[in-house]
Amino acid sequence: MSAFDPIAFHERAVRTPSHEDVTEMRDVLVETLEEHETEPEVDDAGNVLASRGEGDTHLVLNTHIDTVPPHVPYSRDDDVVSGRGSCDAKGPLASLLDAFLACEPGNGRVTLAVTPDEETTSTGAAALDFDADGYVVGEPTGLDVCTAARGRFEGVVSVSGVAAHAAEPQSGVNAVAALEGLLAAVRSFDGTHGPGEHAQLGGPTLTVTTVEGGEATNQVPAECRFTLDRRSVPPETAEGFRAELDEHLRSHAPDGASVEFALRDRPTPHLEAWATDPDAPLVGRLVEESGGETRPFTAATEASYFAADAPTVVFGPGVLADEEGAVAHAEREYVRLPEVEAAGDAVRRTIDALLG
């Protein structure tokens, strides 16, 4: 059996489209694990799972194989690889796979758990249920060790009034005009009902992103809807936010109008905010081995599903954005190969130090 080559695996992974269907990419991963004397399984939710070691202390390495569309072809310029998934998250996948296959978990157990749909509904991650002592979630962090992230909720405010002829506006209730007071209420919400400042993440945000309303240009509109994007911080929960904001907006509705706020339906739990103690041993060791800084992650991830169970960090090669603009999810997505190798080495040394 030849030694695992993370750079060769990364090339194969980026060349394999997984923006519409992850089947081919999942087969690549399973085949690679089997070639290196592990016994992977694919569970009913499409997760690829493999374990090494038998001790009591249990670390989980998690990332995902799906990517956003469209597929961007693989290209390489010296040590820089471009293409869809190069940093989000096939770079982190190559690093974690390298660490998993090379580590020596003498006094513990390491599980590799790779999910199929992080970019959409996270049904794979929602189905996972581990008794773990720590999680490393692979995402592009520039080798920084991220110990917290905001949650993301999305919902719609529905405003109902009474339709009337625009020549007699006083005979109806204008749902669009109600926006004036309701948008002011959105701006005042966190001052009276929000969770306040978080030590690692700062304050939450609440942003209006779309507005729809009105049926005809000569009619007082009876209906209006606007969408809100919430980036939450602990201890706010999805249901707590929904209930508080719904009550707050109802109290600011004009006479004759009704208001309701509802979160958009998801087949899986919302990605809520999370935070890990920066002094946790997993954090300290990975910072020492990677040379990175401790900071929050700026995007929502499946770490949200794990952090309530055990110390959780987000870590990996690549960046979400650089000085020129977006990298992950962009046409110019890229990763630097020395970072892919360095991330794998850092995770492997961390596992050996904590479990060896």
* CA 254/CA 172 separation, integer angstroms: 12
Which pTM value belongs to this model? 0.91
**What is the residue type of 104?**
E
Q: What is the CA radius of gyration of the chain?
A: 23
How far is C-alpha 175 from the chain's CA centre?
35
Query: What tens digit of pLDDT does each residue of 84-106 get?
Result: 999 999 999 999 999 999 998 88
Closest CA to 178 of 209, 243, 224: 224
pLDDT at 55: 87
- Cα→Cα distances 176→133, 207, 249, 283, Å: 51, 18, 15, 50
**Structure tokens, 183:** 């948008």
Residue 196 half-sphere exposure, CB side, CA atoms within 13 Å? 2
Architecture label for domain 151-263: 2-Layer Sandwich (3.30)
Report whether pLDDT(74) > 80.
yes
Q: Is the pLDDT of residue 2 over 80?
A: no
Alpha-carbon gap, residue 235 to 241, rounded angstroms: 10
Half-sphere exposure of 168 (CA within 13 A, CB side): 6
Q: How far is CA 99 from CA 87, 194, 347, 349, in A?
A: 17, 41, 6, 8
Fold classified for 6-149+273-355:
Aminopeptidase (3.40.630)
| Average pLDDT for 49-74 | 96
Q: What are the Cα distances from residue 40, in Å, to 31, 34, 36, 110, 288?
A: 9, 7, 10, 13, 31
Per-residue confidence (pLDDT) for residue 269, from 0 to 100: 93
Task: Cite the beta strand spans of 132-277 per DSSP E.
Answer: 134-138, 145-149, 151-160, 164-165, 205-213, 219-220, 223-232, 258-263, 274-275
Residue 107's pLDDT is what?
A: 87
pLDDT digits (tens, 9 = 90+) for 267-324: 999 999 999 999 999 999 999 999 999 999 998 899 999 999 999 999 999 999 999 9
Could you report the per-residue pLDDT of 152-204, keeping only the tens digit for each?
A: 999 999 999 999 999 999 999 999 999 999 999 999 999 999 999 999 999 99
Average pLDDT over residues 69-78: 96
Q: What integer pLDDT is reported at residue 1 of this predicted model?
A: 61
pLDDT in tens, 108-119: 999 999 999 999
* Helix (H), strand (E) at residue 49: strand 48-53
The alpha carbon of residue 22 and the mean position of all alpha carbons in its chain are separated, in whole angstroms, by 18
Contact 147, 274 (CB under 8 A): no
Residue-averaged pLDDT of the chain: 96
Burial class (CB in 10 A: 0-12, 13-18, 19+), 129: exposed
CA atoms within 13 A on the CB side of 167: 0
Short-list 110, 123, 117, CA closest to 89: 117
Task: Please state, in angstroms and rounded to a whole number, the distance separating the CA atoms of residues 59 and 80.
Answer: 30
The answer to whether residue 332 scores a pLDDT higher than 70 is yes
- Domain borders along the chain are 6-149+273-355, 151-263
Residue type present at position 102? A
What letters, b where the CB count within 10 A reaches 16 and e where it falls short, cover 211-240? eebeeeeeebbbebebebebbbbbebbbee
The two tokens of residue 308 are: 């309530």
Phi and psi at residue 163, to the nearest 5°: -70, 150
Question: Coil, strand or helix: which one is 117?
Answer: coil
Instruction: List the one residue out of 59, 101, 84, 144 whose CA is nearest residue 355.
Output: 59
List pLDDT tens digits, range 240-265: 999 999 999 999 999 999 999 999 99
Which structure tokens are listed for 32? 């690679």
